[in-house]
Structure 1
Amino acid sequence: MSTTQFVSKSTGQYESKAYSAAGPESSLTPATIKRREPGGDDVQIEILFCGICHSDLHQVRNEWSAMPTVYPCVPGHEIVGRVTKVGTAVTKFRPGDLAAVGCLVDSDRSCNSCESGLEQFCPNMTLTYNSPDTHLGGVTFGGYSDSIVVKEHFVLKVPENLNLAGVAPLLCAGITTYSPIRHWGVTKGKKVGVVGLGGLGHMAVKFAHAFGAHVVVFTTSPKKKEDALNLGADEVVVSRNIEEMNKHLTSFDFIIDTVSAEHDINSYLQLLRPDGNMTLVGAPDKPHAVSAMSLLFNRRSLSGSLIGGIAETQEMLEFCSKHDITADVEIIPIQKVNEALERLARADVKYRFSIDMATLKQSKTT
């Protein structure tokens, strides 16, 4: 661990080891990046684990036209580490504390969304990577690195009883599923459907189960039945089986759709009871074809959801602490990150990768 100390204001820059991509067809390779010295309201964190999100793959390959990638790109927004320095205005953290950083590192703190604790909807939010860096210029760099400096408001406390490698994906996959489950009032006695059993889906199952709901997993693969039941599902439906689907018509209070590939959502909308809701958290490249009749009958609703605010993310971590919930992860050294991204593209992981950032010390940077 670095020498811990308090600092009063930003005094410049320091070098940090990282893995970065030079272009859309480039592999991630060792690099040296600049970080700002922490100012009065900043927290510096030594990164211990960083999860690999599917959005990392999209960004590295510049696959989102709405969010073009600026290179070099250092991905990573599922960050868990230990505090090494804090500014004099910091009150919630001290050197040695466990801390986490998710998808956001700043916002304007003054818009209606921010004042409502919904920083994820701030029109001026700063993403953890590939956003304009108002401190150093260029763009922000993410968690595939050995340290990061973030304003205290956007740093989260990590419960001591949880496995840190499994905590990292909670900062994106966890809050992405927890937030809509909470928003739509999932409680004991509710019937909840989870479409897809990947990185997001397996977290949705764990949360819905912990809230006391009757959980039904929908999958195209019969081989996933045992896994789904072990994660907390009460039933598993093979979505290609029309008879199995029809048994659940007009019976669900809430369905969360985690699938990022093109698929028919109308077959799921018809499973909602009157006033039931289906929320999309997966983001397919092509728009969904939605039948008006699927919504008009029974006054059903279709919505989307994007991560959560800082307060809600902290609430999620405390909920996970209480219910002993973490992501199921495969821990990898940073040297295997490119292999992991290729496997992620093939959905060859159960259910998230978590990078052991201690292995970064073994890489020679440029």
Structure 2
Amino acid sequence: MSIARGYAAFSPTAPMASYTFERRDPRADDVHIEILFSGVCHSDLHTAHGEWDGLIYPNGTDYPLVPGHEIVGRVTAVGAKVTRFTPGDLVGVGTMVDSCGQCVNCLHGQESYCLKGATWTYNSPDRVDGTTTQGGYSDAIVVKQDFVFRITHSEEQLAAVAPLLCAGVTMWSPLRHWAAGPGRKVGVVGIGGLGHMGIKLARALGAHVVAFTTSESKRADALALGAHEVVNSRDAAAMAAHAGTLDLILNSVAVAHDLDTYTSLLSLDGAHVLVGIPAEPHPSPSVANLIGGRRSLTGSLVGGTKETQEMLDFCARHGIVADIEMIRMQDIETAFSRMAKADVKYRFVIDMASMKHAA
């Protein structure tokens, strides 16, 4: 065992606080990683506050909880059977650290849809010893090599690479599945941590990108991110002008809203893909709106291991990283508060060097 230092939630209402805990010694197929940067995802906030108990986590949240699943670090040790990594390698870890590896979904590289349940990076039982996984708000982590990803971005970009491990691949997976590219028109709803990555990736894939926002103040930002067009979704005339024109819509909004507003913008056989998870259900969509254009209302989870490495390599080739605000570990509660108000452009990332000075 080794000692790790991090920050944890000790109850749904207690503020995050310093926490010292044990990490296992690397098993034969494990990689020990010194964490350099950890992105702050809205999922971290939901889980820390117990807001997904019974919804995403049937057994609730196991406290103390160390969140964090957008991890970039350096390999410090490897198990005897590890062949893909050596000490000194720059690597990433995303939302999963294991799966059954045997079901049809796992065998096709879609481990997030493991029929026996993926092992999430935090608040999930380890498949070997049953202990609860603890995430990236810490100075080190031990992960099975199959769920560790090679980072080829420059070291100066590492902090901004961290959000790619969740926000990036969450948008990449549906873009690839629904074949976004030249000749395709892609809408991105919501310009936040997920949405801003959707704009960047869709543009780099060659699609025509239309960004949708309720905030006129985000128009210039969306264009700077790569959108070809920006539509204020509160402008009925602007929305009507796009009716029946979009092949794919990625909807990253995580609050309940009228889905028909966007579904009606789809062309024949278009897909409206939900990637945000609201605390309350969306209003029931109109069946007529789906039938009338043979449209699909569907969802997408974070991508599997093959897609994640593919996305990272694509982003390195195209110079794509997240837009971030760097914070100290000690400032996580302020970051949570701001994130809840959508007051971040567009992802907080923790500099784990700050743990050396954490109280």
Fold shared by both chains (TM-score > 0.5): yes
Q: Is the 8 A contact 1:39 1:87 kept in 2?
A: yes
Which aligned pairs between 1:137-176 and structure 2 lie closer than 5 A? 137-161=130-154, 163-176=157-170
The answer to whether residue 197 in structure 2 is matched with residue 203 in structure 1 is: yes
Kindly provide the amino acid, as one letter, of the partner of residue 108 in structure 2: S
How far 1:87 sits from its partner (Å)?
A: 1.1
Kindly provide the amino acid, as one letter, of the partner of residue 356 in structure 1: D
1:266-310 Cα offsets, whole Å, 9 max, x none, are 011111111111100011122222100110011011110000110
Gaps of 5+ in 2: none
**Aligned partners of 1:212, 1:185: CA distance in 2, in Å?**
11
Work out the number of aligned pairs and report it. Answer: 352
The answer to whether residue 215 in structure 2 is matched with residue 221 in structure 1 is: yes
Gaps of 5+ in 1: 1-12
Match of 1:267 among 257, 261, 267: 261
Kindly provide the amino acid, as one letter, of the partner of residue 258 in structure 1: S
What secondary structure does 2:143 align onto? strand
How far 1:124 sits from its partner (Å)?
A: 2.9
1:239-279 Cα offsets, whole Å, 9 max, x none, are 01100001011111111101001111101111111111110
Q: Is the 8 A contact 2:223 2:229 kept in 1?
A: yes
The answer to whether residue 119 in structure 2 is matched with residue 131 in structure 1 is: no
Q: Where in structure 1 do 4 or more consecutive aligned residues deviate above 3 Å?
A: 134-138
CA distance 1:135–1:28, change in 2 (3 Å): farther
How far 1:29 sits from its partner (Å)?
A: 0.7
Residue equivalent to 2:17: 29
How far 1:134 sits from its partner (Å)?
A: 4.1
**Aligned partners of 1:126, 1:93: CA distance in 2, in Å?**
21
Q: Is the 8 A contact 2:68 2:137 kept in 1?
A: yes
Q: Is the 8 A contact 1:119 1:125 kept in 2?
A: yes
Deviates further, 264-273 or 282-291: 282-291
Q: Is the 8 A contact 1:36 1:135 kept in 2?
A: no
Residue equivalent to 1:73: 65
What secondary structure does 2:105 align onto? helix
What secondary structure does 2:349 align onto? strand
The answer to whether residue 172 in structure 2 is matched with residue 184 in structure 1 is: no
The answer to whether residue 341 in structure 2 is matched with residue 346 in structure 1 is: yes
1:166-200 Cα offsets, whole Å, 9 max, x none, are 11110100000000001000011211111110000
Q: Is the 8 A contact 2:51 2:279 kept in 1?
A: no
Residue equivalent to 1:102: 94
**Aligned partners of 2:46, 2:329: CA distance in 1, in Å?**
18
Kindly provide the amino acid, as one letter, of the partner of residue 342 in structure 1: S
Residue equivalent to 1:360: 355
The two structures, once aligned, show a CA RMSD in angstroms of 1.0
Residue equivalent to 1:42: 30
Match of 2:324 among 305, 322, 329: 329
**Aligned partners of 1:125, 1:218: CA distance in 2, in Å?**
32
Kindly provide the amino acid, as one letter, of the partner of residue 329 in structure 1: I
Residue equivalent to 2:43: 55
Kindly provide the amino acid, as one letter, of the partner of residue 21 in structure 1: A
Q: Is the 8 A contact 1:36 1:136 kept in 2?
A: no
What secondary structure does 2:11 align onto? coil
Please give the TM-score of this superposition, normalised by the length of structure 2.
Answer: 0.96
1:210-241 Cα offsets, whole Å, 9 max, x none, are 01111111100000000000000011100011
1:64-120 Cα offsets, whole Å, 9 max, x none, are 122121100000000000000011211110100001100000111111111111000
Residue equivalent to 2:78: 86
**Aligned partners of 1:125, 1:301: CA distance in 2, in Å?**
26
Which aligned pairs between 1:247-326 and structure 2 lie closer than 5 A? 247-288=241-282, 289-326=284-321
**Aligned partners of 1:223, 1:160: CA distance in 2, in Å?**
31
Please give the TM-score of this superposition, normalised by the length of structure 1.
Answer: 0.95
Match of 1:246 among 240, 244, 248: 240
Deviates further, 41-50 or 157-166: 157-166
1:303-337 Cα offsets, whole Å, 9 max, x none, are 10000110110000000011110110000010101
Match of 1:111 among 100, 103, 106: 103
Kindly provide the amino acid, as one letter, of the partner of residue 158 in structure 1: I
**Aligned partners of 1:35, 1:118: CA distance in 2, in Å?**
27
How far 1:133 sits from its partner (Å)?
A: 2.7
